Amino acid sequence: MGLTTCLAGCIIVVVIDLKPSMFWLLFRQNFLGVPMDNLPEKTGWIEVICGSMFSGKSEELIRRLRRAQIARQKVQIFKPIVDNRYSQDHIVSHNDQKISSEPVSSAKEILGRTDPDTQVVGIDEAQFLGMDLVAVCERLANEGTRVIVAGLDQDYRGQPFEPIPQLLAVAEHITKTMAVCMVCGNQANRSQRLVDSDERVMVGAEGAYEPRCRRCFQPPQ
Ligand code: ZN
């Protein structure tokens, strides 16, 4: 009798102590088998897709954003205005997949343009948006948004390319996409610049880069 009362008391205390939303989350996870990260609750996070040029970053970004659209989630997609290689209002991958996007001239502009009811924010070519992007992604995720960012993780010298290293540190999910080395066919994670230039970012330089592996990459002098 004493033990039963004690157990019942403990259960009541535990149930009262849990916030209703947490109780519901635990109930769904344990009894309905719904994984925590699939729940449409107000929980945000950051996903980073990074790699060299021609490694399929935009393709993977488009795939995830399309799935969110199919799930009828409200999606907004941004890309820096500096990247006008193919289109100002679409993200286009090298294998010709595309999805409509809004051009922005700075990372902070993304905050002003994101609607309050947007559930998923996609950002392509993050290397053009600078260090402000880290705080912008953090704020969106803190407010409950799923943020998916794609960008180059190394520059043409093979050096870490901000803000991707900082985003990797704060992201919940990280995907490194690999290209194929144009010299030996191994997996490649570096972008070899084939023309002479000291600019860190060369926009619209189709044919000016090729993917190379660690062994075949030759950093510029
Ligand atoms: Zn190689």
Q: Each residue of 103-159: pLDDT tens digit? A: 999 999 999 999 999 999 999 999 999 999 999 999 999 999 999 999 999 999 999
Q: Where in the sequence numbering do the catalytic residues fall?
A: 125
Residues 6 and 57 in one domain: no
pLDDT digits (tens, 9 = 90+) for 78-103: 999 875 555 678 888 777 777 888 99
Q: Is residue 186 part of a domain?
A: yes
Question: Which one, of 214, 210, 198, 137, lies nearest residue 168 by Cα?
Answer: 137
| Cβ partners under 8 Å of residue 87, min gap 6 | 98
Q: Is residue 171 part of a domain?
A: yes
Percentage of the chain lying above the pLDDT 90 cut: 64
Q: Is residue 73 part of a domain?
A: yes
Q: 182 C-alpha vs ligand 1 centroid, how far in Å?
A: 7
For 45, 71, 128, 142, 168, the CA distances from 138, given in Å and listed in that order, are 8, 24, 18, 6, 12
Question: What pLDDT, on the 0 to 100 scale, is given for residue 143?
Answer: 95
Can you tell me the mean pLDDT for 55-62?
Answer: 94
Residues 9 and 65 in one domain: no
Q: Is residue 20 part of a domain?
A: yes
State the residue range of the domain holding 54.
42-212
β-strand partners of 67: none
**What do you get for the CA distance between the two ends of the chain, in Å?**
82
Residues 64 and 127 in one domain: yes
**pLDDT bucket at 48, cuts 50 / 70 / 90:** very high
Q: 187 C-alpha vs ligand 1 centroid, how far in Å?
A: 7
| Cβ partners under 8 Å of residue 149, min gap 6 | 46, 47, 48, 49, 122, 123, 126, 133, 137, 167, 171
Does pLDDT of 15 surpass 50? Answer: no
* Averaged confidence pLDDT in the chain: 85
Residues with CB under 5 A from ligand 1 (ion): 181, 183-184, 186, 213, 216
Lowest-confidence pick of 8-12, 69-73, 133-137: 8-12
Q: 209 C-alpha vs ligand 1 centroid, how far in Å?
A: 14
Question: What pLDDT, on the 0 to 100 scale, is given for residue 201?
Answer: 74
Question: What pLDDT, on the 0 to 100 scale, is given for residue 41?
Answer: 61
Residues 165 and 59 in one domain: yes
Q: 195 C-alpha vs ligand 1 centroid, how far in Å?
A: 19
Q: 179 C-alpha vs ligand 1 centroid, how far in Å?
A: 11
Q: Residue 61 in contact with residue 148, Cβ under 8 Å?
A: yes
Q: 217 C-alpha vs ligand 1 centroid, how far in Å?
A: 7
Q: Is residue 219 part of a domain?
A: no
Q: 221 C-alpha vs ligand 1 centroid, how far in Å?
A: 19
How many distinct structural domains can be found in the chain? 2
Q: pTM to 2 decimals?
A: 0.78
Q: Is residue 37 part of a domain?
A: no
pLDDT digits (tens, 9 = 90+) for 27-45: 655 665 554 555 456 789 9
Residues 26 and 50 in one domain: no
Q: Is residue 221 part of a domain?
A: no
Percentage of the chain lying above the pLDDT 70 cut: 77
Can you tell me the mean pLDDT for 175-187?
Answer: 97
